[in-house]
Structure 1
Amino acid sequence: MPIFAVHYTYTDATAADRATNRPEHRAWLNALVDAGTVLSSGPYPDGSGALLLFRHEDASSLTELLSNDPFARLGLIEAVRVVEWLPVMGAFAE
């Protein structure tokens, strides 16, 4: 199954609301980790966004899944970029 790198872009204007809603956002992600859908995720240290690695059937159904993220539902993500990724070495290579 393909792996996708998902890049979230955040703005300073949503920082307080993201902090408030982070537990719900992380609970959503943790459920996807438990299901094997999320391989890894985490914010960029400068607060500009986050990188999430998903194992999913295709980009369009992943985009639909991402719309369920509490951050997305609340309008706290400035931009989302979904890119299929082909790891050839390391932990995620097949």
Structure 2
Amino acid sequence: MSVKYYAVFLTMKDEELSKQHRPAHLEFLKEERALGNILMNGKFTDGSGGLVIYKASDDDALIELVEKDPYIKLKARNYEFHEWEMESDYQF
């Protein structure tokens, strides 16, 4: 199975819900990093949302994973994704 990388933008939908569900979102990210499904993640400093780099076999597998994120399930954030080609010189 080939692995693809995806840049997933989590844009702010509801700031109050985002604050409320942040601990569950962070726990989800931690668990998925440990499973090898997330390469890296972080928030935008302007408060507009965040970015997660996922690893998945295809778009459907990615969507299934992203929609497990409490931010998405609980409608605190919207998401948009793009397949991303990581430069081969980088090692993580």
TM-score range, shorter chain: 0.7 to 0.9
TM norm structure 1: 0.86
Secondary structure in 1 matching 2:52:
strand
Aligned residue number for residue 20 of structure 1: 20
Confirm or deny that 1:83 pairs with 2:82. Answer: yes
C-alpha contact 1:2 1:84 (8 A) present in aligned 2: yes
Aligned residue number for residue 64 of structure 2: 64
Aligned residue number for residue 9 of structure 1: 11
TM norm structure 2: 0.87
Matched residue type, 1:40: M
Counterpart-to-counterpart distance in 2, 1:28 and 1:64: 14
What is the total number of aligned residue pairs between the two structures?
Answer: 90
Unaligned runs of 5+ in 2: none
Aligned residue number for residue 46 of structure 1: 46
C-alpha contact 2:72 2:79 (8 A) present in aligned 1: no
More strand by share: 2
C-alpha contact 2:44 2:51 (8 A) present in aligned 1: yes
Query: Superposition RMSD on alpha carbons, in Å?
Result: 1.6
Counterpart-to-counterpart distance in 2, 1:38 and 1:4: 9
Secondary structure in 2 matching 1:19:
helix
Counterpart-to-counterpart distance in 1, 2:26 and 2:90: 22
Secondary structure in 1 matching 2:54:
strand
Matched residue type, 2:86: P
Give the 4+ runs in structure 1 shifted more than 4 A.
none
What is the identity percentage for the equivalent residue pairs of Structure 1 and Structure 2? 27
